[in-house]
Amino acid sequence: MIILGVCGTVGLVAVQLKETQRLRSELNVIREQFAPETVSVEPGTPPPRSETAPLVPQAGVGNLPSRVTVLEQTVAQLTKASEYLMDRGQLPLATNKIQDLYATLTKPETSDRDRLQALRTLRRNRTLSDEVVQYALDWMQKSTNAQMREDIVEQFEGTTNALVRDPFMKLAMTDSDPDVREQAVDSLQRFVADPAVEAMLWNLLRNDPDGGVREQAEDALREGPMTEARAAAMRTRALDPQSSLDERLLAVRALQDAPGGAPDVMAAVAQLAQTTQDSGERAKLFKAFDGSSEPQMKLPLVYGLQDPNPNVRKEAADALSGFKSDPVIVEWLKYISETDADPRVRREASQALQDRR
């Protein structure tokens, strides 16, 4: 459906461009045909007599102003629609439009609002040159308005332009506004394979005072690009008993989407879930696998349904929703949803059964 929608949009854009060009051409032809013709005439020479019929019958000349007006209005409407699509990145920017946006961005008299809109349009159309990126970074670093700094950083979300790395790292570590730090971390996600960026994200995860920044750092570490070197480092962290359980579980979740997976790591986590004496740890382990279908976690989760601690049973029931195709798991969830002594556990088991439909 998405592909069909994109193809449909591209087709409509192409038709609109063709129609705009056709109408402009027709309008120019009409203007040329009825424009006053300048003829050089010698003094005393009588005007020539026309031996041919006029280009347009005289009866049609009276309708010319209305025809031109309609064409001009139609062209104006189509031009406006094209500009709307260009502003939203759905239509390639015309060369003169790009130049106008560059000028708007760099003029000293441009308001911050108009400058930000120009930057947003250039970003949507993937026309951010290094010169524009550097100008925006200089503007951001000079701004005393936290909201403006956040808005500028947001325009580079998903970028891989190396120019933004160091300025955004500085923002993430030192900016006084937590929303700016959070946005900088979000925009650095594509750089997470860089050891310096990843080390900074781990540091923020442990030490930043704002929960939103810590959560964004966790998302970036879990969802960022996974190179072979990074996957190896994540395996080491996941298996390191000296690392905190939260860090080990974050590494495990990051490895779940890595090419080839990490069966050795999953086996170690499953073993830990069965052997740990800490009910809080068991609950965290099961919560980390909510919706997962890792085969090695199935047995520990079933044991978790029988745990003396209701929090552990609740998290185990929730996590088992990922094993939708196993009839044995379905029977266990039905049993727990009807018989468990804790209403929260029964509710989670019922929800897991609904999730499988």
Which residues, in sequence order, are CB contacts of 237 under 8 Å at separation 6+?
A: 243, 247, 248, 251
Mean pLDDT check: name the lowest of 47-51, 215-219, 223-227, 301-305.
47-51
Instruction: State the Cα–Cα distance between residues 69 and 72, nearest whole angstrom.
Output: 5
- 295-321 in b/e burial notation, b at 16+ Cβ within 10 A? ebbbebbbebbebeebbbbbbbbbbbb
The alpha carbon dihedral of 290, 181, 110, 164 has a sign of negative
The DSSP code sequence of 213-260 is HHHHHHHHHHHS---HHHHHHHHHHHH-TTS-HHHHHHHHHHHHTSTT
Most confident option among 24-28, 203-207, 277-281: 203-207
Which of the four pLDDT bands, split at 50, 70 and 90, describes residue 126?
confident
Q: Tell me the pLDDT of the chain averaged across its residues.
A: 82
Over pLDDT 70: what percentage of the chain? 73
Which of the four pLDDT bands, split at 50, 70 and 90, describes residue 19?
low
81 pLDDT exceeds 80? no
The CA-atom distances, in angstroms, between 77 and each of 23, 56, 66, 67, 92 are: 11, 27, 17, 16, 18
Which of the four pLDDT bands, split at 50, 70 and 90, describes residue 96?
confident
Q: What is the pLDDT at residue 76?
A: 58
Burial of 127 (0-12, 13-18, 19+ CB in 10 A): middle
Higher pLDDT, 35 or 323: 323
Contact 190, 224 (CB under 8 A): yes
Instruction: State the Cα–Cα distance between residues 125 and 244, nearest whole angstrom.
Output: 43
Report the CATH number of the 228-355 domain: 1.25.10.10
The stretch 9-30 carries a mean pLDDT of 58
Give 203-232 pLDDT, tens digit per residue: 999 999 999 999 999 999 999 999 999 999
> Could you tell me the pTM of the whole model?
0.69
Q: What is the pLDDT at residue 50?
A: 47
